[in-house]
Each structure stands twice: as C-alpha cells, then as structure tokens.
A and B are shown apart, each in its own frame.
Chain A
C-alpha cells in the first residue's frame, strides 16, 4: 500500500479504482482494459499537474516521503563493493550517519550519508537520521581518510537535523558539527554533495560544504524546519505552510541564490514513484559533477570551494 500525501488524494482515489478493476477476473474483457488505460491516463495527467505546481510545503512532504530513496538505497543502487566503516574512535558508532569506501562508476570513493531508516527497527537504530556528535565525528574521520588516500568524497544529505538530546549536548554536538564543516573546507580532494531529501539545518550543512552541491528537484534545504520557524516567528505550528514559503527552501529558489549548483530532475510524481529512475539521474549528476572537479590541483580546488561559499549572499533572489 503506497503512502499518499495530502495533495495526492485525488490521484489516490483514481489509482485505487484502477487497482480494483485490474483485480477483477475479467477474462480479457476489452471494455475493462480500455477503462483501465483511460483511468491511468487521467491519473498520470493529475500526477503531472500536481507535481508541476508543488508549493514549498508540498515539497517538504515529498522530501520526507517514506518511500523516497534514502542514502542507503542510493548507495545500494550506485556504489559497488560498498564497505561501511564504523565509529568515531572516541565514544561510539552512530548509525544515523552511514559511511564507507566503495566504487562509483569505476572510481574508488568515500561515501557519507544521513540515513533515516525505512521500518520501525531501522528507524530506531538510525535515530530517524538525526545524528549525535559521534556521527559527525565519524564523518570527519572518513573525510580525513579520503584526503589521505586521494579519494573523492560523495555525501548524501537527508536529515531533519542533528539530534537534540542531553547526551548529544554533553558530548559536544555543536563542536562536532563545527569540526565536520571545517573538515569539508579542509579537504584537498573533490567533494560532491547531493541533498536527496531533507536538508535540515546544521545537521545538513555539516556534510554539505562541497565543490558541487546538487539537489533533487523536490528536496528541501533550510536553516530551520518550517514547523520550528513557525513556532518561533508565528508562535504557532499551524503557520508551517507560510514559513515554508518564506524560507525559500526549494531547489528552484536555492539555485537562483547560487547556494546549490544544480537541480536533478525527478521522475513524474516524485522520486518515490520511480526510485530507480531517480537514483540513476542522481548517479549521472554526481558523475558529471565529479568529472568537473577531478584533476584540479588540491590546493586550488580547496581555495575555489572556499571562494564559492564566501561569494554566497551576493546574488539577490529575483
């Protein structure tokens, strides 16, 4: 049973009808087959209309869709010989951030990604993708390792944010994030980041200081969740929709501000409907981005990366 978002309700009704008809033992009834294809065409039309004019708040829902490909799916689909590496060498392993060596389109790479989990067990184990300091310290360790062995770094960002907990604070959540940002800006090897779902605040930027920042068409990337912003500035969680508009968190707005470098088109109806198509597009975009920066001398590459971030904020929206 697929998960339907609020704005997909009319499509859900149609697709339900189609399923029903398909399950009728029709014995090849030509009329029913015709009806099915008519309904299907209508559903497709509705879908493409709906996804053609998603509001920022709709996109927040799509970005959080449970069936959306997560980092682990992307790694599974795009990386050969993936060899996970665990632990921060100080306190523990944090499964909210996944990382390891692997081969991407014939190149050895280091892959690091936020992983939210996909069922109750894995969601709990991965803390719903909200990392503790150990996760960021692991990420930093792996980035340094990549630098040591001249391996490009690929990061897949998909998190609501860093975990707000007592232990996380005691063990230096802020410091861990700061050091991870610093690591991104220290690398002499190429780093390409893709915001695949939710780019939530400090927990996201910790992994997204990259030479090329790519973003899926319906992903979101923001300084604060719309709900958090609404509760602070509107003093009401109900204003999340307005906050989502005001924050300009869509890939389309972020490209205009030159905060991201490229938008990766999603298949009709969002990445969760045709996961492999979406992940192939992601792979192609990462490969192209890597091709642009591989071969540039490490010192120059790092200087260019820093310069790119220093230039941000100088391009007004509109």
Chain B
C-alpha cells in the first residue's frame, strides 16, 4: 500500500461521487505495485514512472508508438478457419476466441501495418499479449506471412514485435506448423534483400522464440523482457535447481550473446530509425583502396587474404 491507493484514490472517488473512477484509469505496476494514472502511464509509453518497469503494450498502442504521426495503415489479414480441430478443454476454443475478440477488439493476436518511421517506409507486425497470451496459431502465422509479403511489395523493411507465450495449443499440430511457416516468411524477406528486425518484448517464449523471433538480422530486446524457449517452471521441475538471478531476461540474453542490444522503450524509435537508415546504406559505394602488404595476411574474420 502507498499514498496513492490510500489517499489519492479514495479522494478522487469522493470527488467524482457515485459513478466512481473506472478501474482502467489506474494501473498498478506489476513490478513495484505502485499506482499510476492511466494518462500518465500511456504518455510514458507504458513504462512505470516509479521503477522504469516496461509493461506490455497492446498491438495498437505499439503501432501508434512506432510510426510517425498518424501514418499507420493497418492492413486486413487473410481469413483463417476458426478452431480447425474443434478443440475443447474445460472451455471451447471457439468460445475463447469470441471472448478474446470481445476483450481486445482485434481478430487475433497480431496486427500488421505499414507506415513511416522517421520518414522511412516500413512494415510492422505487432503481437497483442492480451489475445490468448499472444499465442501463435494459423491466423498469427498468416499475419506474419502477409507482413513479409507486404514489405516485399513495398520494398520496405519488416519489423516484428513478438509478445507471446508460444504456440497456441488449441490449434494442435497446426500451431506447431506456424514455426515453419513464419520461418518461410523470414526467408522471403531475406531473399528479397530487405532488413528484418525483431524487437523482443515481454514475453517471447516457446515456439515463437524458436522460430521467426530468433531469426532477426538485428535482434533488439526491451529491458527486463522474458525471452527463452522453455518456461522457467518447466526447467525448474526438470533439473530440480533454482534458476540463476535474471534468468531469461533480456539483459541475460545480451550477456550470453543471443541478442544485439537491450534498448529502453523511450529510445526504441530512434534506435530503429538509425539502424534502418544505416542498413539502407543509400550512400555511394566507398572507394576501393588496395591494402598494404603487411595487412593483407588475413582480414578480421580470420579469412586468409585472396591470392595477390
């Protein structure tokens, strides 16, 4: 408990009277548990104003945050078969889909849009964790394929923001097949010579991490994001050991050489603009200068110098 919940909140309640304050006007930080006024939080890109914790963002907010002004053009994604297996656990998958759609206002766990970022045309695919944990089924796989093809059509880079617990179990083997299908999407982008950048956000695990998410030409992660293949609980129950401090966090992956950089959300847009600009290399080709003999023994990759 803190002054916000004890004092300010009841006072505001009193001020607005019987209607009360809609709960969504306040957020409790999942890390430090402090209360933050919604407007303040969204202005701060969903980064806790108290502790700097990066909270999950909806796909829509993510797109709005990345693209210039109002250049965001969300595209319609191909229709897929809902509930191909007629899957039912304690609840029907069909019902889960309906609920998730009602809750989020989107059709599945991914949004794809094109627009400009720092004046550079780009395609972005953003996951929405609120939609069944951002899990990847056929609709998400199709979304990634559509994003890759749109990028190729527009000769633009593709940036993907995964936020997903992994494959969508309710689609059984078809969810597993999305690992291959999303990888094909990456190959199409790569073969077209276009940059493919992945910004790993919390969480990126399971079948999503073990496919397109780990194949970026450049891999960026948000601070504190959980990134890994197996879930922490599964690992603990397999090895009967406590996991090291910071295990599977973005910083831990950086230290282990698995990603290029950890970038705070406030710097993300500028970083992406810089990286895209550098990758596009629109400058004329550098002049070719002959190496002096002494430096010609091997290049810095250890490759022997070509026969002179």
A166-B241, A181-B183, A309-B181 given as contacts; is B85 within 8 A of A246 (CB)? yes
Q: Is B214 a contact partner of A313 (Cβ separation < 8 A)?
A: no
Contact check, A178 vs B258: say whether CB atoms are below 8 A apart: no
Residue in chain B with minimal CB distance to A243: B89
Q: Is the CB of B176 within 8 A of A309?
A: no
The number of chain B residues touching the other chain, given as a range, is 35 or more
The residue that B211 contacts in the complex, of A168, A178, A254, with Cβ under 8 A, is A178
Query: Could you say which interface size class chain A belongs to?
Result: 35 or more
Nearest-neighbour CB distance to chain B for A139, whole angstroms, equals 14
**B residues 129-145 touching A (CB-CB < 8 Å):** 138, 141-142, 145
Closest Cβ neighbor of A313 among chain B residues:
B138
Which of B138, B173, B175, B177 meets A249, CB within 8 Å? B173
When distances are taken between beta carbons in the complex, the residues of chain B under 8 Å from A174 are: 205, 209-210, 213-214, 227-229
Q: Is the interface of A mostly helix, strand, loop or mixed?
A: helix
Question: Closest B-chain residue to A204, C-beta based?
Answer: B176
Interface stretch, picked from A59-67, A226-234, A280-288, is A226-234
Contact B228 A314 (CB under 8 A): no
Question: Could you tell me the distance between the alpha carbons of A316 and B86 in the complex, rounded to whole angstroms?
Answer: 10
CB pair B172–A223 under 8 Å, yes or no, is: yes
What CA separation (Å) do A186 and B177 show in the bound complex?
16
Q: Which A residues are CB-close (under 8 A) to B86? A: 317-318
Residues of B within 8 A of A312 (CB): 174, 177, 181
Q: Are B214 and A175 in contact (CB-based, < 8 A)?
A: yes
Residues of B within 8 A of A254 (CB): 173
Known: A178-B210, A202-B179. Is A223-B167 also a contact (CB below 8 A)?
A: yes
Chain B residues with Cβ below 8 Å from A185 are 180, 183-184, 187
* A221 and B174 alpha carbons, distance in the complex (Å): 11
Complex Cα distance A173/B211, Å? 11
List residues of chain A with CB within 8 A of the CB of B247: 166, 169
Contact mask for chain B residues 75-91; partner A; CB cutoff 8 A; 1 contact, 0 none: 00000110011111110
Q: Which residue of B lies closest to A178 (CB)?
A: B214
Q: B9-17, B35-43, B230-238, B267-275: which one contacts chain A?
A: B230-238
A175, A185, A224: most-surrounded residue (chain B CB, <10 A): A175
Q: Does A273 contact B (CB under 8 A)?
A: no
Complex CA gap A259/B175 in Å reads 11
